[in-house]
Amino acid sequence: MNRRTFAMALAAAGLAGRARAAGLPVPPSGRIGFKVLRNGVPIGEHHLKFIQDGAALRVEINADLVVKVLGVPVFHYTLAATEHWEGDSFVGLDSFVNHNGAHYEVHAAPTAGGFAVHSTIAGDYVYTGARPMLPLTYWNKAMLQAEILNVETGRHYPAIVNSPGWNYLPTAEGGQIVAQRFDVTGKLHLSVWYDQYDQWAGLAFSVDGNETFEKITT
């Protein structure tokens, strides 16, 4: 992609972002998928499926990751979560995680002025803060301005967000897409990317190794 094409993509991003600001960034295909790599080696995939029923939206999220050393599995992680939305409003979450044999659950349901959260790790509590609570599932860029609910631990926290700008991002098929990078710090330490249509385009973080998500585009 040459500089002129790159500049045109950035201009389109601004227009598309304004055009889509009123609704949720649900992909036209109803699906988002990523190949997940650890230190450059594929370890599994992460998928989201969007199911619309009138004003109600259900987002089904599944991940299955296996780290191997000399062909022997040494770490296994699975995630099965379901988000519920009404219009543009997040109204619930049920999340189940197997973190290398340790099983965790997070459940969030609306209550007066906020959410009631039940978590294997964080216990039971009610969130009634001024900022909206949104789950840490990345597909909705509004998460960056919300109180973020960790779908494994059940804990919540604000994020400190900085954007270094736009760059080229590799895809799972070996291509490239133009996406805007957001570095998130505070309790979280990660980088997440969104394309010109505010679609989730990539993710990178480090936990005893470098994890990267490359978007499946075919």
Residue pair 192/203 in contact (Cβ under 8 Å)? The answer is yes
Q: Dihedral of the CA atoms 59, 94, 192, 162 (nearest 10)?
A: 120
| Measured distance CA(49)–CA(51) in Å, rounded | 7
Nearest to 59 by CA among 86, 35, 39: 86
Rounded distance between C-alpha atoms, residue 89 and residue 87, angstroms = 6
- Which pairing describes strands 147-149 and 133-135: parallel, antiparallel, or unpaired? parallel
Q: For the CA atoms of 39, 41, 42, 44, what is the dihedral angle to 10 degrees?
A: -50
d(CA 18, CA 197): 9
pLDDT score recorded for residue 12? 38
Least confident residue range of 2-11, 69-78, 201-210 = 2-11
| pLDDT category of residue 80 using cuts at 50, 70 and 90 | very high
Task: Assess contact for 180 and 165: CB atoms under 8 A.
Answer: yes
pTM exceeds 0.85, yes or no: yes
Backbone angles phi, psi at 178, to 5 degrees: -90, 125
Mean pLDDT of the chain: 90
For the chain, give the longest Cα–Cα distance.
53
- What digits encode the pLDDT tens for the residues 132-150? 999 999 999 999 999 999 9
Name all domains of the chain by residue range, CATH numbers in brackets.
Answer: 3-215 (2.50.20)
pLDDT, residue 208, reads: 84
Distance (Å, whole) CA 82 – CA 127: 19
**Encoding tokens for residue 101?**
């044999």
| Amino acid 23: pLDDT | 87
**Structure confidence at residue 3 (pLDDT):** 41
